[in-house]
Amino acid sequence: MTTNRDHRLCGVPSWGERRGNSEIRPVPRTGGHKDLVEYDFPGIEVGVGVADYAEGPTGATVIHIPAGARLAIDARGGAIGMSNGFEYFAHAICLTGGSVYGLSAGAGVAEELHAQHGNRGSVDDLKLVSTAVIYDFSARDNAIIPDAALGRAAVRAAAHGAVPVGRVGAGSSASAGKIDHARTEFTGQGAAFGKAGKARVLVVTVVNPVGVIVGRDGSVIRGNYDAASGRRRPLASDCLEMLEQSQPARAARGNTTVTAVVTNVRLTDKELIHFGRQVHSSMNRAIQPFHTALDGDTLFALTTDEVELAPPPDRDNGLMNSIALGTFASELAWDAVLRAVR
């Protein structure tokens, strides 16, 4: 694999036999991250709960809600990688690299929570962990995977107050703009937090799409980079050329953006589902294209149900609270994507 660090180019992968965990014997590493997004959301632990294998690099990120939160899942695209999609409730969300093999990190998260609570086995004591993966093998020359040991380490390191961003955790080898491997650039993990009145929203996302990353001014800021010209351009331009010239369409397989958005606002089950859909749909402003047949985009929407917003005066307008919250969270989601590539 060739790599141009100056321009954050991933390089062209070389497929074949690679060294994995049994040969390299990676050691979990947590903490020491300098690029952080601070947040103030009591009861939510993430921050230094990011673990990564430097040998990959690859990793896992855990959003831990000890008291639990209600959950809705919005999964789209043709390559979804998820395990234990416990719709309705979760104690932790695990975002991880390693594609389907990285699902074992989520099992490690569940094992650690089980141990921390005295290995109790009653139904009421079960700790529910939902996991979503990204494919990150094309950006590195080994087959290291986030495993159960890494998941356990991430939970043990979890704390409140800050989310590491950039090439850390599940975003360690994330990339974007994969119309051509030679034009693919590294991305990473992003986060954003905001308060509006009593409402709190935290977004954590791992950005690994076939599409490019678009700034608020409409320019492409990561992915589909032409080293010769030093320019990036929308994938729409390449796709249009393919159609006009009847060329076979090309794009790299192995993409997915995984996201968790957590709020403290009480929402009905229906409102929570549509809140998640609204935020997930909004992310196509920052990622273009999004939800393609080569992506497996998954968003976990969670609420701790701690804050009750005043009901609107018009009973027929009863969903406006969740729509307003979704609009607020959607701007944070865009911020989180941009922070992943800063």
pLDDT per residue, tens digit, the chain (342 aa), is 444 444 578 877 877 888 899 999 999 999 888 899 999 999 999 854 577 888 999 999 999 999 999 999 999 999 999 999 888 999 999 999 999 999 999 999 999 999 999 999 898 889 999 999 999 999 998 999 999 999 999 999 999 999 999 999 999 999 999 888 888 999 999 999 999 999 999 999 999 999 999 999 999 999 989 888 888 988 777 777 777 787 666 667 789 999 999 999 999 999 999 999 999 999 999 999 999 999 999 999 999 999 998 876 665 565 788 899 999 999 999 999 999 998
In this prediction, residue 226 carries a pLDDT of 86
Return the pLDDT at 249.
60
Nearest to 297 by CA among 79, 90, 131, 95: 79
Whether residue 328 is contained in a domain is answered as: yes
pLDDT number for residue 153: 95
Query: Which CATH number belongs to the domain containing residue 236 in this structure?
Result: 3.60.70.12
pTM, two decimals, is 0.93
Q: Strand 220-222 vs strand 225-226: parallel, antiparallel, or unpaired?
A: unpaired
Let me know if residue 123 belongs to a domain: yes
What's the rounded Cα separation, in Å, for the pair 61 and 30? 10
In a domain, 14, yes or no: no
Q: What is the pLDDT of residue 6?
A: 45
For residue 233, what are the CA distances in angstroms to 244, 251, 254, 292? 18, 15, 21, 18
How high is the pLDDT of residue 180?
82
What is the pLDDT at residue 94? 97
Integer Rg of the chain from CA = 19
Q: How many distinct structural domains can be found in the chain?
A: 1
Quote the pLDDT of residue 59. 95
Q: Tell me how far apart the alpha carbons of residues 151 and 62 are, in angstroms, rounded to a whole number.
A: 8
Distance CA 259, CA 36 (A): 17
In a domain, 117, yes or no: yes
- Return the pLDDT at 46: 82
Q: What are phi and psi of 53, to 5 degrees?
A: -95, 110
Question: pLDDT value at position 292?
Answer: 93
Strand, coil or helix: 315: helix
The pLDDT value given to residue 234? 83
| 332 occurs within a structural domain | yes
Residue 212 confidence (pLDDT):
95
Distances (CA, A) of 193 to 114, 173, 190, 263, 339: 29, 24, 11, 10, 11
pLDDT at 85: 87
Instruction: Tell me, yes or no, whether 30 lies in a domain.
Output: no
What was the pLDDT predicted at 241?
75
Give the angle subtended at the CA of 321 by the CAs of 42 and 267, to the nearest 5°. Answer: 55
Q: Provide the domain limits for residue 248.
A: 35-340
268 is catalytic: no
Look at residue 112 and tell me if it is in a domain: yes
131, 256, 263, 303: the active-site residue:
256
Tokens of 160: 């409140």
Asked if residue 297 belongs to a domain, the reply is yes
What tokens appear for 135 in the block? 């494919």
Distance in Å from the first CA to the final CA of the chain: 24
Task: Give 157's DSSP letter.
Answer: H
